[in-house]
Amino acid sequence: MEPLNTVVPERHLYRIPEAMQLLSMSRSVIFEQIRAGRLRSVTQGRSRLIPAVAINEYVQLLIHEAEVKYDQAS
């Protein structure tokens, strides 16, 4: 099955509050996913930023995990 093309608005980097809004997740969950290596981030000076491509990859990961769980339940 081909991955869905999730479109994130045309910015390349998002601050944590913006990523929270895009992913509908709390700040603590965002940082938990970053620490777990499931959501990539970069730092610029003292700011932690989430690349748009990392948001797309994370959404695809969630979709894939949901499909695997659904297939296993059958």
> What's the one-letter identity of residue 39?
L
pLDDT in tens, 42-63: 999 999 999 999 999 999 999 9
Which residues on neighbouring strands pair with residue 47, listed in sequence order? 44
By the 8 A CB rule, do 66 and 30 touch? no
The answer to whether the Cα torsion of 15, 17, 19, 22 is positive or negative is: negative
CATH code, domain with 59: 1.10.1660
- pTM (2 d.p.): 0.78
Is 37 a domain residue?
Answer: yes
Is 57 a domain residue?
Answer: yes
Domain of 50, in residue numbers? 13-73
Is 22 a domain residue?
Answer: yes
Calculate what percentage of the chain has a pLDDT beyond 70. 81
CA distance linking residue 38 with residue 33, whole number of Å: 5
Strands 42-44 and 47-51: antiparallel
Is 64 a domain residue?
Answer: yes
Tally of domains within the chain: 1
